[in-house]
Amino acid sequence: MSNRGEQLEMKKRQLVTIKGTKNGLSLHLNDICSYEELLRDIQLKLNESSTLHNEKRDIKVTVELGNRYVTEEQKEEIKQLIEEKQNLTVQLINSNLVTKKEAENWLEKTEVKSITSIVRSGQILQVPGDLLLIGDVNPGGKVIAGGNIYIMGQLKGIAHAGYDGDDRAVVAASIMKPTQLRISKYIDRDVKENPSKTSSQMECAYVKGEAIKIDRLQVLPHLRPNIANLGGGN
């Protein structure tokens, strides 16, 4: 097929769609065609666009890959091809797919890490996801989790759940007598015992409004119906 015929065929198949946005341009790339066809059509569309030829200001570009997998080298190649137009700057390349590294990070953050230990004074135990601690946190000890904290024992030290900004994280303990509670950015340095508690009740701490509240564990399914099951630990 001649170059002219290839160009007509690519136009017909709409391999690249350019859309204007309030922030600049969005390039939607076909995720079925070959990678080589895609590069040719990106160059063709950018050369043909009268809007780009008339613009004097810098234009920010977002690239939408859809379900296409590209390597980091291919992302860089697409970026360089677009930025050959001196007034175009690629700000973001989005994909519906996740890389192996992203998937591993997500699994790490969503798993429940089960640990049997006593966290003594001066010790810090930190996990990226949910923590199930079978043991005590002594005064001066500290447990930190990216998600929820479940303590099958006494919490008499410091607990910080949702450390990366998860306001819906909770702290639960068999005996809740912490020196300090933190959930996301909220801090409770003057933890008051729940007056309705009985000696055998587990308790949970959660954010309500702009403060940390402590209540019976039984309220948790109603407050956080999508909370992780404890059965997923290692």
Looking at domain 3-94, which CATH architecture does it have? 2-Layer Sandwich (3.30)
Which residues make beta-bridge pairs with 130? 112
Q: Supply the pLDDT for residue 227.
A: 67
Pairing mode, if any, of strands 24-29 and 16-21?
antiparallel
Q: What residue ranges do the domains of the chain occupy?
A: 3-94, 103-232
Report whether 173 contacts 138 (CB < 8 A).
no
Instruction: Name the pTM for this structure.
Output: 0.55
Asked if the domains at 3-94 and 103-232 fall in one CATH topology, the answer is: no
Residue 93 identity: I
- As given in the structure block, the two tokens for residue 218 are 């039984």
Instruction: For domain 103-232, give the fold.
Output: Pectate Lyase C-like (2.160.20)
Residue 95: CB atoms within 10 A of its CB come to 18
| pLDDT tens series, the chain, 234 aa | 455 555 545 445 678 888 888 888 888 998 888 989 999 998 888 887 755 555 667 889 999 988 888 888 999 999 999 988 768 899 889 887 766 676 666 666 667 889 999 999 999 999 999 999 999 999 999 999 999 999 999 999 999 999 999 999 999 999 999 999 999 999 987 766 655 555 557 899 999 988 999 998 888 888 877 664 444 434
Contact (CB, 8 A) for 125 and 151: no
